[in-house]
Amino acid sequence: MEHYSSQALILRIKDLGESDLLVLFFAPEKGLCKGIAKAARKSRRRFVNCLDHFSLSQLDYHRKKENQLFLLDSCKLIQAYEALRTDYRLLTLSSYLAELAETLFPLHVKADEMFELLVRSFELLCQGEAPEKVRIAFEGRAMAMGGYAINLECCCGCGRAYKGEGRAVFVTEKGGISCLACRKESKRYPGMGPKSVRALKEIQGPGYDNFPSGLSNKEVLEELKMIFRQHILYRLGKRLKTLKYLE
C-alpha cells in the first residue's frame, strides 16, 4: 500500500454515490490525480473546508494497487483562493487554466513546475492582477513546459537569425516565426512586433515568476493572444471546452 502526503490543488469535485466525493487534484510529485473522499458529504471532520474548487490543501492519501484511484485520508486547508469561486470572470479563467494544465499533463505525470505555475497564477488573480496578463503568461509558460515552446531564434523558412528588430510572422504549423521575406502577415499567419517577441521569449524562459514588462502593452497582449489561440488549438488538436466561456 502506497501512502502520500503533499500539497495539492483541488481542481474539481463531483458527488459519488450518497456520501462520497470524486476529487480531481494536482500534486507536485504525482501530477494530475483522481481520488475518492469516503463519506465526505456526511462527515466534514476529516475534510473541513478543504475540498472546494481551486483551493490549496495539504492532502494525505493512499492507494492499494498501481493504477487504482487514490483514497483520500485527510485534508487541511492551506489557501482558499475564495475570489476564484465568487467572481465569475475569475472562475471561468481559472477553469480554463486548469483544463489546459490537465490536457498538457495527463494522469500521474510528475509536473512540479506546472503545479507551481498554477499556484502562482491563482495567487496573482486573487491579488487583483489583470486576468488577461495572467492568461497570456500562463499559456506561454504552460505550452513551453509541455514541450510546445515557440521557436523565436530564427526564421523557419530561410533560417536567418531574428535579431530583435522589425516584425515577425508566426507560422502555426512550424511552431516558430518567419521573416517578412518568407511569409506575409495574414489572419492565418499573425504578426508580432519586437516587443511581443521579447515578452514571449521571457515568458518561455527559465525561472519565470512575474510578468515581463511588455505585457503592460495592450498591443503586445493582443498579438500574443492571437498567436496562442492558434498555437494551442493546432498543437493540442482540439478546442478546450472552457474557452467558450472566456470569449
Query: Domain spans of the chain?
Result: 2-79, 130-150+184-245
pLDDT at position 66, please? 75
- Parallel, antiparallel or unpaired: strands 2-16 and 56-63: antiparallel
Mean pLDDT across the stretch 109-114?
A: 92
Mean pLDDT across the stretch 131-160?
A: 96
pLDDT of residue 206 exceeding 80, the answer is no
Query: Which CA distances in Å does 209 have to 18, 72, 114?
Result: 42, 31, 12
pLDDT at position 64, please? 80
- How high does pLDDT run on average in the chain? 93
Other beta carbons less than 10 A from residue 29's beta carbon: 13
pLDDT of residue 144 exceeding 80, the answer is yes
pLDDT at position 208, please? 59
Per-residue confidence band for 210, with pLDDT thresholds at 50, 70 and 90: low
- In terms of DSSP H, where are the helices of 127-162? 131-145
207's CB contacts (< 8 A; 6+ apart) are: none
CATH class held by domain 2-79? mainly beta
CA-to-CA distance for 159 and 71, rounded, in angstroms?
53
pTM of the model: 0.93
pLDDT of residue 2 exceeding 70, the answer is yes
pLDDT digits (tens, 9 = 90+) for 71-99: 999 999 999 999 999 999 999 999 999 99
142's CB contacts (< 8 A; 6+ apart) are: 97, 100, 101, 104, 114, 117
Q: Which amino acid is at 32?
A: L
pLDDT at position 212, please? 76
Q: Please, are residues 177 and 150 in contact by the beta-carbon 8 Å criterion?
A: yes
